[in-house]
Structure 1
């Protein structure tokens, strides 16, 4: 199938969802050579990935993932990465605030791809044990309100794609598949996109994968988060319909701040910063975390408006619940032998 797929893409035509799913099956079964893999993902990127192609590949990847069973609704707060802005781990901090506000979070992530510090790196630096089994993550979500699924542990069949991906060095469809393939099958999402051309496409992919409510966001400054420096494009999927709008800091009752004020560093530095934010230190770092947590609470149906989400997020920070979730997550994850 892979050879036929490459020919199709090179001629400028698109694959059906079924064909894309079949190619992904071959990749994940180790039946594709590195040269074929490189030709396929490059041709797909040059043509431009369609909703059907992304959804087909995501379906196969989801089917082959180790499943985490959860009771009730869960949200993932995640970005594609690759925005090149080297901000601190905003979505990881926001996820802890969301958990503190009483919404269960199934966070799916990896080590850094393009920045200095990914979600896995900062959680590990904070003392969270990241390589857990599905049952252990399940317990974290049930008992703490947040669990972290380290992508390589839950997508073992992706090992065949890893080395050629790193060698290619450009953004490919694989950079956007990770956030779509949550092993807990999260029905709610705050999904940040670094590539503005993919915002609506990703919402449509989530729709085809059966997602209930999602906010797909892209900062006009290029951030794969809701931005504090300007406008953020939002594509909201809710009740099967899609609505496009924009949000700015004033919609959250916050002043604008420069991107420079959100710069991150090493995993250890970011861990210190996250603790400081969760401990109540004011400033732009706290503000951007509150904004993203507020939007996630909206996407998770815990809040009806972003202003209501802001009130809940502030409360979770101010009453110590967000920090408490982190402490509980560290303790429980480390208790697993």
Structure 2
């Protein structure tokens, strides 16, 4: 962790505001990588005045960070705050928005468990009511299912290796960012911290799966992971997710795929109805996200539902299987996912997760 007594360079946040990022949306300039690194080092050390910190976060939001700035923030976070614990398995890292969902079911636990049952290890990570939305996330569904969540990173890695599905808890593996909770809460809007925390990759996975509203964001996230110096991600898969989460949106959905060595993303459209999701987004809405998502997870894995939620879980599992290239196509991944459900293997993984 950074300390308030550490030495910094020549760019306190106030100077960056005055000379670089703070002149407005149209005239603000991008920071150099070194300037962005120093800015986040100061933030993690608790050095900036709260007013200056809020102004800096807002200025970054207005001007929009480029991939080089985000990579600098990510590197500082991984170097000075994140405690990684790498399992023997090589999982898919699922980076959903930490501030959660408020209207539709969280299907990533069920999908990850199904993928694990096919032999595709999956890692998820979240905090607890993270600003700004402070809504339900992975932790809260797992809590409802009776799975231990407030565990240290080493235990999370063991969970991956023993069960095939692992949860990493932000306050345990990323305490520097967790310590910013109150300051972030006072902002009232998302900041670049909301972006880079999803890329923390506490398991040092080679494959990252994420979601986006617009394809340009998927490109920026992939460019960020290419530019980072603190991790080595060789493959990314992004898709249009519901509420910005890593649950695929029904309908015509864009999927963006990148492999190390590719010059740019390969993006393509899928019709989710062709993969069993022949319904609207509204059909996945729930009133109590955490409790109902947990109940849906139990019922789908036990084979007690064959409705839209079961179809959505199977396709989301297929995306995780395909992301790790354990299937050559989504069709093959979907067949593997349905086999894991029909055989009871997915239900067994949930039992193992609860017993861990």
- TM-score by length of structure 1 reads 0.91
1:106 corresponding residue in structure 2 = 123
1:246 corresponding residue in structure 2 = 269
Post-superposition Cα deviations, 1:109-137, rounded to whole Å, max 9, x if no partner, equal: 12344374211011011001111122211
- Deviation beyond 4 Å, 4+ runs, structure 1: 81-85, 194-197
Given that 1:189 and 1:296 are in contact with CA atoms closer than 8 Å, whether structure 2 keeps it comes out as no
2:109 to 92, 117, 120: 92
**How many Å apart are 1:240 and its aligned residue?**
2.9
Distance in 2 (alpha carbons) for counterparts of 1:96 and 1:121? 16
Structure 2: tracts of 5 or more residues without a match = 1-10
Let me know the Cα RMSD of the aligned residues.
2.1
Distance in 2 (alpha carbons) for counterparts of 1:119 and 1:141? 15
1:169 corresponding residue in structure 2 = 188
TM alignment of 1:160-309, pairs within 5 A: 160-194=179-213, 197-209=216-228, 210-219=232-241, 224-225=245-246, 227-241=248-262, 242-252=265-275, 254-264=276-286, 265-280=288-303, 281-309=305-333
1:316 aligns with 2:340: yes
**How many Å apart are 1:226 and its aligned residue?**
5.2
1:44 corresponding residue in structure 2 = 60
Given that 1:10 and 1:43 are in contact with CA atoms closer than 8 Å, whether structure 2 keeps it comes out as yes
1:157 aligns with 2:194: no
Q: Aligned with 2:94: secondary structure?
A: strand
Q: Aligned with 2:204: secondary structure?
A: coil
1:335 corresponding residue in structure 2 = none
Post-superposition Cα deviations, 1:205-240, rounded to whole Å, max 9, x if no partner, equal: 122333111111125x76534545312222211133
Aligned length: 330
**How many Å apart are 1:84 and its aligned residue?**
6.2
Query: Structure 1's 94 and 322: CA in aligned 2 closer, same or farther, altered over 3 A?
Result: same
Given that 1:79 and 1:179 are in contact with CA atoms closer than 8 Å, whether structure 2 keeps it comes out as yes
- TM-score by length of structure 2 reads 0.86
Structure 1 or 2, whichever has the larger Rg, is 2
1:56 aligns with 2:72: yes
Distance in 2 (alpha carbons) for counterparts of 1:162 and 1:142? 31
Structure 1: tracts of 5 or more residues without a match = 333-337
